[in-house]
Amino acid sequence: MKETWRWYGPLDQIQLSEIRQTGAAGIVTALHEIPYGEVWQRDTIAERRSEIKAAGFEWDVVESLPLHEDIKRGTGDLASLFANYRQSMANLAAEGVHTICYNFMPLLDWTRTELNSPVANGGTCLRFSAFRMAAFEIGMLGRAEAENDYPTEVIAKAREWFSASSDKDQKELLNSIMSGMPGAYDRYDIEGLQRALDTYRGMDAADIRANYQRFLNEVISTAQDLGMRMCVHPDDPPRDILGLPRIVSDADDIAWIMGVNDAPANGLTLCSGSLGANPANDVVEIARTYSDRIHFAHIRNVRKDPDGSFEEAEHLSGDTDIPALCRILLGEEKARKSAGHPDWKIPFRPDHGHELLSDPEKKTFPGYPLIGRLRGLAEIRGVLHALSA
């Protein structure tokens, strides 16, 4: 498997020269400065790729070529948005970048309620607290329907937290929930988020699926023609939040996605952390079932609580059997190599990581510290070497 590292380009506090010291061979990045829906021009792509190449890397995966919210809602000038997306794909392919990771999460990307939750041996991690999320939805957003989305005991704890919370506590919670949106992404205040949620009012999972199917129909044939691989990232967390339906959360969702357009270019980003946060998911079995459609992997681990909360665990010590997962990915690579595929290696990156030692001084994007991810990469590297021996 090819070791890669997520880098946020000029927005990142971590330099390519530092990433070089991790031993990673490839870069996963995007043109985060470009607003959603606009074309990624070839000269801009070429400039970023040249910068990456000069530092000794290949640009292996685009994460992400984001989708405009109108595509997810099925509103607005869709013809122009799809045309722009296809042109960006063509420009990327012309510059030798052939793998695109994307997601179909309405409005928000990954969502956490705490960015600096203490861990046992020192350092901090990202955490999703069910009662804090419920407090946000019910107390701060005033979304009464949210009471139907959480267990009674979680609602009670949410009310207790909200009653005792200060303005500072509530601002920190809002900031945490908005922090999964890097680059030029919108960040909402409470009123702005309420307005944005209203644009999805009345839409259910079937509506979102229909809009997703339209997107696949518009871009997958282009990907096939360009020799590109599209790989959807699972929802994070893998459950409905804010009343927004999420449709890439479990094995049934993945089966629908892979079946509704069975072209090889329509593939999966196997994120062991996102899928692992859903107690119903057997991440290893999902990897086994869809191994031939995995174009990219995020390897991380989570530790779940019975109330629906979870936190980022050490890469090898959470709820998912990472060595078993790596064994499946290595087996799939072997099959691809035997079949003569020239690009048989599956790129992976150590996803998220604890903030350790001097990481807080860097002020990196939440979840993307240097030392914490380096530790994760080293641990995964050891697993892969042992399994390949």
312's enclosing H/E stretch is strand 310-313
* pLDDT of res. 188: 87
Whether residue 183 has pLDDT greater than 70: no
Query: Percent of the chain having pLDDT more than 90?
Result: 95
- The DSSP annotation for 82-120 comes to HHHHHHHHHHHHHTT--EEEE---SS-SS--SEEEEE-T
* pLDDT of res. 334: 97
* pLDDT of res. 181: 65
292 and 267 Cβ atoms separated by less than 8 Å: no
* Residue 125 is among the residues annotated as catalytic for this protein: no
Among candidate residues 271, 290, 315, 354, the one labeled active-site is 271
Q: Please name which of 290, 154, 307 lies closest in space to residue 234, comparing C-alpha atoms.
A: 290
> What pLDDT digit, counting tens, does each position of 185-194 carry?
567 899 999 9
Give me the amino acid identity at 353: G
> What pLDDT digit, counting tens, does each position of 254-292 carry?
999 999 999 999 999 999 999 999 999 999 999 999 999
Please give the Cα distance from 112 to 173 (Å, whole number): 9
Among candidate residues 98, 295, 298, 315, the one labeled active-site is 298
* Residue 354 is among the residues annotated as catalytic for this protein: no
* Residue 150 is among the residues annotated as catalytic for this protein: no
Question: Per mean pLDDT, which range of 157-161, 327-331, 363-367 is the poorest?
Answer: 363-367
Whether residue 247 has pLDDT greater than 90: yes
Please give the Cα distance from 230 to 1 (Å, whole number): 18
Domains in the chain, ordered, with CATH? 2-111+203-388 (3.20.20.150), 114-197 (no CATH)
* Residue 351 is among the residues annotated as catalytic for this protein: yes
Please give the Cα distance from 5 to 26 (Å, whole number): 6
Among candidate residues 8, 68, 212, 233, the one labeled active-site is 233
Give me the amino acid identity at 294: I
Whether residue 389 has pLDDT greater than 90: no
Query: Percent of the chain having pLDDT more than 70?
Result: 98
* pLDDT of res. 144: 85
* DSSP bridge partners of 76: none
Among candidate residues 68, 98, 352, 354, the one labeled active-site is 352
Q: What angle do CA 137, 354, 33 make, to 5 degrees?
A: 70
SS3 string, 125-155, reads EEEECHHHHHHHHHHHCCCHHHHHCCCHHHH
Residue range 376-380: mean pLDDT, rounded? 98
* Residue 68 is among the residues annotated as catalytic for this protein: no
Please give the Cα distance from 1 to 175 (Å, whole number): 35
Residue 180's pLDDT band (cuts 50, 70, 90): confident
Residue range 307-336: mean pLDDT, rounded? 97
Whether residue 99 has pLDDT greater than 90: yes
Residue range 16-37: mean pLDDT, rounded? 96
pTM: 0.95
Residue 184's pLDDT band (cuts 50, 70, 90): very low
Whether residue 128 has pLDDT greater than 50: yes
* pLDDT of res. 24: 98
Please give the Cα distance from 57 to 53 (Å, whole number): 5
DSSP-derived 3-state class of residue 124: strand
* Residue 368 is among the residues annotated as catalytic for this protein: yes
Please give the Cα distance from 117 to 126 (Å, whole number): 6
